[in-house]
Structures are given as C-alpha cells and as structure tokens.
Chain A
Amino acid sequence: MDSTIIIEKSVIILVVFAITMVMAMYSTLAERKIAAWLQDRIGPNRAGKGGILQPLADGLKLFSKEEFEPDTPNKFLFYVGPAIAMSTALMTSAVIPWGDHFHLFGRDIILQVSDIDNAMLYIFAILSIGVYGIMIGGWASNNKFSLMGAVRAGSQMVSYEIAMGLSIIALLMMTGTLSLREISLQQEGLHWNVFYQPLSFLIFLICSFAETNRTPFDLAECESELIGGYHTEYSSMKMGFYLFAEYASMFISSTILAVLFFGGYNYPGISWAVENWGVNIANIIGIAILFAKICFFIFFYMWVRWTIPRFRYDQLMHLGWRILIPLSILNIMITGIVILRHELLAFLGF
C-alpha cells in the first residue's frame, strides 16, 4: 500500500469529522432558531451577528459549569456512557459516500472514508451500540429517573431497530447490494429510491425519528415526566456530550436518509455535468446537493419536533410492534412479488 492513500484517507477523515462537528454545533443553533420561528418568535440573536456565535457561547458555558458526580458505585461506567454515545454518533460517518470521486494530482480520490461492501450492516451495528451509551449512562447514574429513561430508551430503540432493518430489506432486495457507494451510483440522475420504495422510506423515516430519540419519540428524556431521563445526573461537558451526540446522530441519520432514498450526491443531469464541466466541478455540485438534502432533513426533524406532541409509551410500542413491523414485512412481500413478476407469471402459465 502506498503512503499517498494514507494521507488521502486521513484528510478525508479529518474533513468529515470537522464537518460532522460543525453541523452538530450549528444544529443546536438551528434548533433554537427554528423553534423560535415556528412559534412566531425571533430566537437567539445577541451572540454575534444574528446569533451566529451562540453555539460557541453554549459550549463555553457547558465547559465552565461545575462537574457534578452522583454518589454512584460505577464511576467508570458513568464516564463511559457519554463517550460511547458520542463515538457511536461519529463512527457511522465512515461509510457515507459524500460524493463520487475527485480527479486530483493525476489520481482518482474516492470521496468516502472507507468503501466497505457491507456498509449497511456496519451502520446497523453501530446504531445498535448507540443504545449502550444511553443504557450505561442511565444505569450508572444511580437515579430512578435516569434508570427509567434508560429503560425506555433501550426498549424503544431495540423495538424500532427491527422495523428499520425490515424496511431496509425491501430496499436491499431492489438494489442487490449493501454498499452505500453502489446504492448511490445506482440512483444516478433522478432514479431515487424514494420513488420506487415510498413505503420503505416512510417506515425508515419514522424509525429514524425513534432511533435518534427525537420528538415525537423522545420518551427517554421527556422533561415533564423524567426530568431529563438518562442525562438527569450529568452535568458540564458530559451532559454536553449527550446533547451533542444527539445532534451528531441527527446529522448522520439525515445523511443516511439522503443517501439511501434521495439519491445521495446525485442530481438530475450529473452525467451531463461530468462530461461538460469535468469530474471535479460536477462532484463539488454533488456534495453541495447532498448537503442541501441533509439540511432539509435536519430541518424536517426540527419541524416535526415543534408540530407533533410526544407519544404515550404504549402508543409508541403499539406503533412499533403492531403497525410498522407488519407493514414492513408486507412491503418486503410486495417488493419480492414485483421483482419476480416475470417468473411468477411464467409459473402461473401466462
């Protein structure tokens, strides 16, 4: 292996990490701004021009807060909780294709940290680990509210992972690959998967709300019942890590939604742009398009948050187990029938 590939990948990793952090940081500002706008208010606008420095001020505040630790027998787990939440939120970005490729210095640079062929399985594995961050943190807090929040989060995320996985199976049957790069390439132009698999998209969207613990599924931290749920006992930057992880995973799940269903970096006329303007310019536009899609989904998350109230816990479980899972199994069956329609017709003798 030559050393250039190490440099190339390191640069991509650094850039992706920085972008994820900045996006998560400014998601906090966007959340507050959009919340304000949807409620006919203005929102934070004192720190910097139009409140642009508000995330820095918030971060500084969290850093300077007193670090409080509950009298817990598991100090180690208490520290590990937010670390797991944060690192799992960041790890998923490794397999996202941010663009097709650049042609620089006489070589093709693939705009992806690692193009593993089972990227979808990797994402699901990381998402499953994400539960541990919340579970361990809530359990090590030695607080009944935290424990209840953690238990809620655990059962909710495990339940919705099933429906999420099943909804993706229908998509994978169609694409025939687990690699996100392959899936992106297949959706070239306007062949976006959302037009072929709308039901799968709807189920995946609802489940990703539940997986990121966003309203209407934020029962793990509902303020009115559990004070703060799993992060009740956390203070200072450990608290900040949990909040930050939530926004980072929101960014990542918006990216996954955009890549899986909305064509990723594809836009109508990308092949024409590659021919006429060159690979680099076409892909810069592609990256911009991908980020526009991601920003729309982040906005959608926030928009839904300030529209729909929180579910009751039994309603949440009812929706997950008795509606979404059967629906996604039905979707798999329909997809299978459509894929095998010629064989089926031949078998029936038409």
Chain B
Amino acid sequence: MSIETISLSGRKMQVSNKEMSFLERLYLVAIVKGLIITLKHLFSRKVTIQYPEQVRTRSTVYRGQHMLKRDEQGRENCTACGLCALSCPAEAITMKAAERKPNEKHLYREEKYAEIYEINMLRCIFCGLCEEACPKDAIYLTTSKVLVPSSYEREDFIFGKDKLVMPLEMAIKNTQLKNAN
C-alpha cells in the first residue's frame, strides 16, 4: 500500500475531475435534491430554546454564583486567609481581614474573619479554583440558575458580602434538615 492511498480517518476521498454528464450540467436534478434537503429541515425538530421561559438543562457539575457559607450555628466559615484570592487565576477576589470582637462569637466561627470580601463578577471566570483552595469550606460555587444580573454600572458587578454570604434563613433550614436526618 502506497502512502497516497492510506486513510487514517477513513474519510479520505479521491478528488475526481471527470466531465459532468448532460443531466448533471442541467443542475436541475441537483436543485431538486437541495430543495428536498431543505424541505426535510422544515419538519425537523427545532433546536431553539425559548430563553426566559425555557432554560437549558445544565450539567451536574455546573458552577454558578458563589456563596460564602455559614456553619450549623449560623456563623461565617471564612477566616480571610486569602488562599482563594491567591488561587484565583482572574484575580477577581479581594478581601480585608479583621479580628473578631468578644461579643461577635455568634457571627464568626474563628478569631479572624473577612470584614470586606469582594468578587468582581466581570473578572470571574467561574473556574471553581477558589472553592478547591478554601481550607475552611467557606466559599462554594452554587448550582444557582440565576446568572449575574445585567446592569449599567460597573460597580454593580462587584459583589460584596451582602450578596455573597449565605442568607441566615437558609442556614437555619440546612441545620434543621441535618438534625432531622
């Protein structure tokens, strides 16, 4: 077997330069064939997803918006160690650490906490490396179907703790579920 005839993909085709017959040169047969192909598409299933009403089914490992978790007693897990910011390839995360006051023990789990925690959603690429880097199980990428809402201001895309921390009701519900099991 010579090198010219080998086809690794099995799709190799010999280019032919033969003269077209009279029927082929009329093009009418080819046009009718083309019309039949498009007619088949007229009745085929439509691929459009009507977005606001229908939502595309997402993968089970889909990574949506971030959430800063609370533990069973409703205290924030984050200790502002900065590993997430360090691991972030898009450099979207910034934070400012603060020391926990004695009367804040019910709010933060450990002695240090994030006073400011901001993710720039315009920079974030939703890679999930922050979640992997976190030693305290504090940051998670949820399966939330709500993407970042649109806005006219750039500032609106910098999400602070008000948007990122898990709501208290959700923490209470999680604890109740856990106790029930």
Stretch at the interface among A233-241, A268-276, A299-307: A299-307
Stretch at the interface among A18-26, A32-40, A339-347: A32-40
Q: Does A42 contact B46, Cβ atoms closer than 8 Å? A: yes
Instruction: Answer yes or no: B45 CB below 8 A from chain A CBs.
Output: yes
Q: Does A38 contact B48, Cβ atoms closer than 8 Å? A: no
A70-92 contacts to B (CB < 8 Å)? none
Complex CA distance for A40 and B43, rounded to whole angstroms: 8
Tally chain B residues at the interface, Cβ within 8 Å: 14
Complex CA distance for A38 and B40, rounded to whole angstroms: 8
Q: Does B41 contact A42, Cβ atoms closer than 8 Å? A: no
Instruction: Answer yes or no: B6 CB below 8 A from chain A CBs.
Output: no
Contact with A along B27-41 (1 / 0, CB 8 A): 000010011011101
Min CB–CB distance A297 → chain B (angstroms)? 14
Instruction: Answer yes or no: A41 CB below 8 A from chain B CBs.
Output: yes
Q: Does B50 contact A38, Cβ atoms closer than 8 Å? A: no
Q: Does A40 contact B39, Cβ atoms closer than 8 Å? A: no
Q: Which of A37, A40, A42 contacts B50 (CB 8 A)?
A: A42
Complex CA distance for A304 and B48, rounded to whole angstroms: 23
Q: Is the interface of B mostly helix, strand, loop or mixed?
A: helix
Min CB–CB distance A311 → chain B (angstroms)? 11
> Please, which residues of chain A bring their CB within 8 A of the CB of B34?
307-308
Q: Do A37 and B41 form a contact, CB below 8 Å, given A307-B31, A308-B31, A308-B34? A: yes
Complex CA distance for A336 and B162, rounded to whole angstroms: 89
Q: Does B42 contact A37, Cβ atoms closer than 8 Å? A: yes
Tally chain A residues at the interface, Cβ within 8 Å: 12
A23-63 contacts to B (CB < 8 Å)? 34, 37-42
> Please, which residues of chain B bring their CB within 8 A of the CB of A42?
46, 48, 50
Q: Does A38 contact B46, Cβ atoms closer than 8 Å? A: no
> Please, which residues of chain A bring their CB within 8 A of the CB of B45?
40
Min CB–CB distance B8 → chain A (angstroms)? 32
Min CB–CB distance B54 → chain A (angstroms)? 11
Q: Is the interface of A mostly helix, strand, loop or mixed?
A: loop
Q: Do A40 and B47 form a contact, CB below 8 Å, given A307-B31, A308-B31? A: yes
> Please, which residues of chain A bring their CB within 8 A of the CB of B39?
303
Residue of A nearest to B28 (CB): A202
Residue of B nearest to A39 (CB): B41
Residue of A nearest to B30 (CB): A308
Q: Does B44 contact A40, Cβ atoms closer than 8 Å? A: yes
Q: Do A38 and B38 form a contact, CB below 8 Å, given A307-B31, A308-B31? A: yes
Q: Which of B35, B44, B46, B48 contacts A307 (CB 8 A)?
A: B35
Q: Does B41 contact A40, Cβ atoms closer than 8 Å? A: yes
Complex CA distance for A38 and B37, rounded to whole angstroms: 9
Complex CA distance for A34 and B38, rounded to whole angstroms: 10
Q: Does A41 contact B46, Cβ atoms closer than 8 Å? A: yes
Q: Does B35 contact A40, Cβ atoms closer than 8 Å? A: no
Q: Does A41 contact B47, Cβ atoms closer than 8 Å? A: yes
Q: Count chain B CB atoms within 10 A of each CB in A34, A42, A307, A308 and give the residue with the most.
A: A307
Q: Does B48 contact A41, Cβ atoms closer than 8 Å? A: yes
Q: Does A38 contact B42, Cβ atoms closer than 8 Å? A: yes
Contact with B along A298-321 (1 / 0, CB 8 A): 000001101110000000000000
Complex CA distance for A308 and B46, rounded to whole angstroms: 21
Q: Does A303 contact B38, Cβ atoms closer than 8 Å? A: yes
Complex CA distance for A37 and B47, rounded to whole angstroms: 10
> Please, which residues of chain A bring their CB within 8 A of the CB of B37?
307
> Please, which residues of chain A bring their CB within 8 A of the CB of B42?
34, 37-38
Complex CA distance for A274 and B44, rounded to whole angstroms: 41
> Please, which residues of chain B bring their CB within 8 A of the CB of A39?
41
> Please, which residues of chain B bring their CB within 8 A of the CB of A308?
31, 34
> Please, which residues of chain B bring their CB within 8 A of the CB of A37?
41-42, 46
Complex CA distance for A2 and B50, rounded to whole angstroms: 59
Complex CA distance for A38 and B45, rounded to whole angstroms: 11
Q: Do A40 and B46 form a contact, CB below 8 Å, given A303-B38, A306-B38, A307-B38? A: yes
Supplied contacts A41-B47, A308-B34, 14 more A-B pairs, CB within 8 Å: A37-B46, A38-B41, A38-B42, A39-B41, A40-B41, A40-B44, A40-B46, A40-B47, A42-B46, A42-B48, A306-B38, A307-B35, A307-B38, A308-B31
Ordered by A's residue number, 11 sampled pairs between the chains whose C-beta atoms are within 8 Å are A34-B42, A38-B38, A38-B41, A39-B41, A40-B44, A41-B47, A41-B48, A42-B48, A42-B50, A303-B39, A307-B34
Interface of B toward A, CB cutoff 8 Å: 31, 34-35, 37-39, 41-42, 44-48, 50
Those 7 A-B pairs whose CB atoms lie nearest each other, nearest first: A42-B48, A307-B38, A307-B34, A38-B38, A37-B42, A40-B47, A42-B46
